[in-house]
């Protein structure tokens, strides 16, 4: 007996356009029945739909209506062109991803849609987080999510081990001063954060050949711009030791 697949025939999704946003149920048979194939651990949905069909279906299907509303949030107007279509990808419990490149549009656009309630469909749940959240609460949420990721996301683990950049910032503890460190071979499995951000017009704090020796000694808090300061503090609060920041970890005048 196969333990990975269960196959049964059912009457098919209520909506033939969005397949009720349920995973892997979209295989029709000639007799009008549908084969329900659910691969354990791969409860995914993958559809390509015509925008005009979804508009029509949205009159009666709440899931199609959700997708149209998501597109309209980003100012996709009612379609006039017959060849507008988009793809729908989802996995139970995560966000629904809509990707579209409408005929009159030069960019490929990508929208993620979440629900605020539990659902068996691919419209996964997200928690609403206030914009002016208490930083301590934000750290708790981040810690919890990081733990779930480390403990149970197989995909996130792929390629995670065995690499650390040449230099990282040691965030210090408490009021301790951050400093740049050269990594060693036995640190290659050490966890570190990476800050990805826009430099803006100028980055006031960088590492150059001239400043490198000082960076190993320590980087005074008052010299650290706000974005980097907050990132370093955040890593401290999460209880980790290292963060990679391009401006500091890459020697900026090194050919």
Q: How many CA atoms lie within 13 A of 219 on its CB side?
A: 26
Region binding Zn ion by CB under 5 A among candidate stretches 33-41, 56-64, 179-187, 229-237: 56-64
> Terminus-to-terminus CA distance in the chain, angstroms?
61
User: Pairing state of beta strands 167-170 and 109-113?
Assistant: unpaired
Q: Is the dihedral of CA 69, 71, 75, 77 positive or negative?
A: negative
Region binding Zn ion by CB under 5 A among candidate stretches 63-71, 80-88, 128-136, 220-228: 63-71
- Closer by beta carbon to Zn ion, 42 or else 153: 153
Taking CB under 5 A as the rule, does residue 63 contact Zn ion?
Answer: yes
Contact pick of 39, 153, 161, 209 for Zn ion (by CB under 5 A): 153
Count of Cβ atoms closer than 10 Å to residue 46 Cβ:
15
Taking CB under 5 A as the rule, does residue 61 contact Zn ion?
Answer: yes
Taking CB under 5 A as the rule, does residue 62 contact Zn ion?
Answer: no
Region binding Zn ion by CB under 5 A among candidate stretches 23-31, 50-58, 206-214, 216-224: 50-58
- Closer by beta carbon to Zn ion, 55 or else 234: 55
Q: Quick check: 103 and 46 in contact, CB under 8 A?
A: no
Taking CB under 5 A as the rule, does residue 38 contact Zn ion?
Answer: no
- Closer by beta carbon to Zn ion, 150 or else 187: 150
CB of 20 to Zn ion, least distance (A): 7
Taking CB under 5 A as the rule, does residue 71 contact Zn ion?
Answer: no
Q: Which of residues 8-27 bind Zn ion (CB under 5 A)?
A: 15, 17-18
Q: Which of residues 82-111 bind Zn ion (CB under 5 A)?
A: none
Give the integer Cα–Cα distance in Å for 29 and 27.
7
Give the integer Cα–Cα distance in Å for 85 and 87.
7
Contact pick of 22, 45, 64, 180 for Zn ion (by CB under 5 A): 64
Q: Quick check: 252 and 212 in contact, CB under 8 A?
A: no
Residues lying near Zn ion in the complex (CB under 5 A) are found at: 15, 17-18, 57, 61, 63-64, 149, 153, 156
């Amino acid at each position: 007996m196969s333990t990975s697949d269960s196959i049964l025939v059912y009457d098919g999704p209520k909506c033939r356009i969005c397949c009720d946003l349920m995973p892997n149920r979209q295989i029709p048979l000639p007799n009008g029945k549908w084969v329900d194939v659910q691969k354990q651990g791969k409860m995914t949905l993958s559809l390509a739909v015509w925008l005009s069909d979804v508009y029509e279906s949205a009159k009666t299907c709440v899931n199609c209506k959700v997708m149209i509303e998501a597109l309209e949030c980003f100012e996709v107007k009612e379609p006039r062109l017959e060849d507008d279509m988009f793809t729908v990808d989802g996995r139970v419990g995560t966000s629904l991803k809509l990707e579209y490149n409408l005929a009159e549009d030069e960019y490929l656009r990508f929208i993620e849609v979440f629900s605020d309630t539990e659902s068996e469909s691919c419209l996964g749940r997200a928690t609403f987080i206030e914009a002016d959240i208490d930083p301590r609460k934000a750290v708790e949420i981040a810690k919890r999510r990081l733990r779930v990721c480390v403990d149970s996301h197989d995909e996130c683990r792929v390629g995670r081990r065995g690499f650390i950049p040449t230099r990282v910032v040691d965030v210090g503890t408490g009021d301790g001063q951050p400093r740049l460190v050269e990594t060693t071979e036995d640190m290659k499995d050490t966890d570190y954060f990476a800050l990805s951000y826009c430099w803006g017009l100028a980055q006031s704090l960088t590492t150059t050949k001239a400043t490198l020796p000082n960076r190993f000694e320590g980087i005074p808090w008052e010299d650290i711009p706000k974005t980097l300061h907050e990132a370093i503090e955040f890593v401290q609060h999460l209880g980790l030791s290292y963060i990679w920041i391009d401006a500091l970890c890459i020697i900026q005048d090194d050919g």
